[in-house]
């Protein structure tokens, strides 16, 4: 049939697009899993390429692979790492739960590309996908190792730098707003005065803690299951293979990868991934609070709170001219909602560590990597298009503060809780100020001047 070639696996013949670098097992997986149209993410493809590259090098050093074959495999795997062969990885993420289809996809692509580099045709198996590219490996230890590798790399390349940038932006706003007095709010009701800079210092600390959690909770990612092969026993692999391969990966990535302390835990359970996903959910929860607060504080501009002024990044309505919406906050909040949902899926997948293997790994990989990407992109967009240009409306802050009845709290030490409560009720009912009513009630003017100074209410008394 024009445009196709025929290859065979253990189940029989398969038609494969003529120029595809993958082989029969990948083609079978494409037929079996027309589920979402979502292929493996590039960080996972890169991680598989990195493992195959250094596995070939280790097997050559151990005398198990010829120099010619190892060199060709390493060159082909390098092209995978660099993203040159992404188009040859079509397998859907909703596939076999061990990731076998994607591991074989990588084996076939690298084998065929290596054969080409040696002057041999695609499909010739001049380099064998199982016997040479997959030498000393199993999908059951390669695929989870690739997940750990991909997630750790993306955390360090994407999410942690994005959080650091956001933290810097919030620290700058903390300083910029440090002298602006405003009313505090608890239960959505007026509370005692606070400085806008103090509010933003709270946001900055949230992000600082959020930056710490993935670093701590993802430490298990550095243990790679490689070397356990099928069930953790290491059958069909050289005893030095895993250590050599992982050491080379660690050197290349500059991340502290090491062989799993216990291969049965590393392949039977996916607790490190569950913990990593949980830290991403924690990050989403914190960021949602920050974005939502800023959204509410900027509500208005005339009939809401209006203490913050959002940068105008796009028209807010197709019908109301001049309307500016908190679109960047809304975008980040939707990202956070998606990440929380992703974590729920990862947790459910973590329950499926049945005996010696977890069989829900591809969707775990997809969700964690998606969460990292969404959070990273959402944070950077929010920082650039919202936080950087965010301004305070100092007059609005002052006006709302002066209208608040919560200032009565400062009178409690002088006149008692009950008497202060009566003054607040009278002020609310009559529309008069607390100062007027307190003077009539016998509180001395100099005492009121001291007690009703909002600046003094924003710090603990010495």
CA 182, CA 455: separation in Å to the nearest integer? Answer: 10
CA 337, CA 288: separation in Å to the nearest integer? Answer: 8
Active site residue 215: no
Among 262, 272, 264, which Cα is nearest to 222's?
A: 272
CA 114, CA 124: separation in Å to the nearest integer? Answer: 11
Which of 10, 187, 318, 462 is catalytic? The answer is 187
End-to-end CA distance of the chain: 88
Task: Give residue 20's Cα distance to chain centre.
Answer: 33
Using the 8-state DSSP alphabet, how is residue 17 labeled?
E
Q: What is the DSSP string of 150-169?
A: HHHHHIIIIIHHHHHHHHHH
Active site residue 428: no
CA 23, CA 106: separation in Å to the nearest integer? Answer: 10
Is the link from the previous residue into 301 a cis peptide, with omega within 30 of 0?
Answer: yes
Nearby residues of 75 by Cβ (< 8 Å), 6 or more positions away: 114, 117
Among 138, 68, 78, 47, which Cα is nearest to 60's?
A: 68
Which of 36, 66, 215, 317 is catalytic? The answer is 317
Token representation of residue 56: 């070939």
Among 328, 276, 396, which Cα is nearest to 169's?
A: 328
Active site amino acids: 187, 317
């Amino acid at each position: 049939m024009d445009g196709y070639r025929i290859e065979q696996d253990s189940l029989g013949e398969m038609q494969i697009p003529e120029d595809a670098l993958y082989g029969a097992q990948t083609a079978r997986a494409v037929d079996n899993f027309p589920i979402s149209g979502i292929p493996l993410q590039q960080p996972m493809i890169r991680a598989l390429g990195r493992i195959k590259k250094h596995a070939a090098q280790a097997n050559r050093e151990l005398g198990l692979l010829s120099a010619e074959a190892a060199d060709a495999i390493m060159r082909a795997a390098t092209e995978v790492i660099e993203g040159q062969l992404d188009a040859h990885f079509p397998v859907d993420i909703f596939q076999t739960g061990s990731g076998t289809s994607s591991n074989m996809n990588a084996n076939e692509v690298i084998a065929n590309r290596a054969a080409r580099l040696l002057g041999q045709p695609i499909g010739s198996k001049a380099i064998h996908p199982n016997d040479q590219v997959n030498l000393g490996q199993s999908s059951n230890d390669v695929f989870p190792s690739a997940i750990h590798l991909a997630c750790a790399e993306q955390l360090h390349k994407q999410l942690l730098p994005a959080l650091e940038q956001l933290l810097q932006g919030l620290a700058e706003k903390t300083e910029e707003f440090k002298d602006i007095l405003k009313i505090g709010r608890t239960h959505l009701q007026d509370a005692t005065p606070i400085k806008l800079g103090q509010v933003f210092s709270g946001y900055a600390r949230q992000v600082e803690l959020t930056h710490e959690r993935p670093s701590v909770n993802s430490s298990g990612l550095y243990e790679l299951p490689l070397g356990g092969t099928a069930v953790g026993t290491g059958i069909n692999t050289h005893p030095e293979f895993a250590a050599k391969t992982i050491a080379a990966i660690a050197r290349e990535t500059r991340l502290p990868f090491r062989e799993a302390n216990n291969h049965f835990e590393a392949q039977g359970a996916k607790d490190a991934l569950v913990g990593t996903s949980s830290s991403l959910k924690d990050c989403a929860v914190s960021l949602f609070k920050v974005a939502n607060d800023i959204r509410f504080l900027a509500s208005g501009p005339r009939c809401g709170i209006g203490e913050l002024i959002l940068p105008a990044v796009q028209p807010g309505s197709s019908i109301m001219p001049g309307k500016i919406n908190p679109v960047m906050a809304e975008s980040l909040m939707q990202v956070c909602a998606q990440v929380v949902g992703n974590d729920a899926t990862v947790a459910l997948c973590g329950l499926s560590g049945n005996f010696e293997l977890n069989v829900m790994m591809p969707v775990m990989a997809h969700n964690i990597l998606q969460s990292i990407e969404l959070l990273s992109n959402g944070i950077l967009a929010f920082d650039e298009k919202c936080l950087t240009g965010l301004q305070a409306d100092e007059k609005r802050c002052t006006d709302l503060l002066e209208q608040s009845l919560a200032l009565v709290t400062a009178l409690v030490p002088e006149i008692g809780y009950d008497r202060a409560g009566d003054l607040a009720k009278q002020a609310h009912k009559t529309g008069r100020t607390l100062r007027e009513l307190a003077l009539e009630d016998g509180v001395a003017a100099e005492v009121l001047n001291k007690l009703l100074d909002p600046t003094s209410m924003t710090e603990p008394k010495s």
